[in-house]
Each structure stands twice: as structure tokens, then as C-alpha cells.
Structure 1
Amino acid sequence: MKERGEYDTAEEAERAARVVLALLGAHLVGEVRSQLAARLPEGFALILLDPLQSAEPLPPSDSSALTAAWIEGATEQTATWDVSAVLSTIADTAGEDLTGQILLQRPVGYDQDR
């Protein structure tokens, strides 16, 4: 992910991954969430499985704003980059079938962040 997001350090890449996974995890439900967690390293899986749950999907336009709010010094533009880097890495890790199931839980347009 460090290369995909063109981060200067592994710490920057990890920070972005943690924030995006926390937001994604709050909006995924059912077995999709646990199946994705099973394919992630333990530390990231625990973030994804955090018990916080949203009552509704996260609109695509809000994902960058929320991400920016959680990353010190981020703007919506840099947060969009972070979301894209993390989601494309997740897609590679999850595989085509699980990625499709994840996207089915997202609102229309969410996959444009990928």
C-alpha cells in the first residue's frame, strides 16, 4: 500500500489504512465484514471488526470528508487519495467475489473511490 498511495513512510500508509478501515468497518455488515477481516493482517482486522456500527451506509461524498477529519493535516483531496489507495489494496486482498459483495453494501458511486 505504501507504493500504491505513494506515501513517504510506512507509518503514513498505516495511518491512512487504519482510518479508512475503521470507517469502512463501521458501514459493512454481516459476513462480508468478517470475511474481509479474515483476509487482513490481525491489527487491521481488529480495526475493521471494531464493534461500532453505523445505522446507514456512508455516502461516497462523505467518505473523503470523514477520512480527512481523522487524519491530521489531511484535506478532502488528500483523503480521497488515501481512500483510493486503501480500497484498491483491499480489493486486491479480498479478491473479485468478496470485493463485489463489499461494493454491493456501498451506495452508488462508492466504487469510484477505488
Structure 2
Amino acid sequence: MVITQAQLVELIQERGEYTTIPEAERATRAVLTTLGAHLLGSERKELADLLPAPYQHLLLDPLSATRPLAPQEFIEAIALLIDGASPETARWDTSAVLSTLAETAGETLLQRILTQLPPGYALLFGRPELA
């Protein structure tokens, strides 16, 4: 089931405890843009298909990361995209968006996504790291 833009932003706003919708949207755009550069193949397309149209293109942008980023590097990349963000606030933003995406994607797709990412991302998606 595709989630609407209003539903997605509302969920992220609630989870991230943002006081305004623009704050939630800013975090969403930054995280989706960065995540899209790290996902490949059908998983990227399947996740994008679950999102509202305004956010699909952020995942599907043809830019690809030159190398996989470790979770802390991913968070630092997010901090660079959000004015005034610190690594701590970027971690909060990242977790708010990725944990919402995890619920939207479901466990099967999430597991396939996590296999594309370096160890440590499961926690950012709100899941315990499996040994």
C-alpha cells in the first residue's frame, strides 16, 4: 500500500517530535536523497514505489555513492544537507525517517535493503542489529 505524502510527513513529524511540518519534510528530503545514492536495483525501486510521488524521485535520482558509507558517515552526510544540523540532530533525523520507512517497507523488503548497506544500519531503521 502506498502511503500518502500527508501520512508520511505526519508519521515522521510525530516520530521525530518536530514542531513543524517543514522540519519533518526537510529531514525526509535529506535522508531519502542520501539513502537513494546507496541503494541499488529492485530494492530502491520497490521502496520508491511505496512512497508518495514527491519523494519517489529522491530515491530514484541516478546519482550513486562512490563508496558505501558507514552509519556514522551517513549521519554526517545528512548533517551537511540540513542547515544548522549537528551530528546528534542528524542522527535523530535519520532515525525518524528510516524507522518510518522500515514500517512502510515491511520486514522482507527491509531485510533486502539492509543487505546492501554496511553493518550498523539496522539500528538507524529502528531494528536491533543481528549478529
Q: In the alignment, which of 52, 66, 73 is matched to residue 62 of structure 1? A: 73
Match of 1:41 in 2: 52
Mapping of 1:1-114 within 5 angstroms? 1-114=12-125
In structure 2, distance between residues paired with 1:80 and 1:6: 13
Q: Could you give the per-residue CA deviations for residues 86-107 of structure 1, whole angstroms, max 9, x where no partner exists?
A: 0000001111110111111110
Q: Could you give the per-residue CA deviations for residues 69-94 of structure 1, whole angstroms, max 9, x where no partner exists?
A: 11001000000000000000000111
Instruction: Note the aligned Cα RMSD (angstroms).
Output: 0.8
1:63 CA drift (Å): 1.2
Moved over 4 A (4+): none
1:55 CA drift (Å): 3.1
Q: Could you give the per-residue CA deviations for residues 18-64 of structure 1, whole angstroms, max 9, x where no partner exists?
A: 00000000000010000000000011111110110113222111011
Q: Which amino acid aligns with 1:10?
A: I
Which 5+ residue runs of structure 2 have no aligned equivalent?
1-11, 126-131
Q: Which amino acid aligns with 2:118?
A: P
- Normalised by the length of structure 2, the TM-score is 0.84
- Normalised by the length of structure 1, the TM-score is 0.97
In structure 2, distance between residues paired with 1:70 and 1:87: 16
1:11 CA drift (Å): 0.7
Identity of aligned residues (%): 52
Which 5+ residue runs of structure 1 have no aligned equivalent?
none
In structure 2, distance between residues paired with 1:31 and 1:56: 19
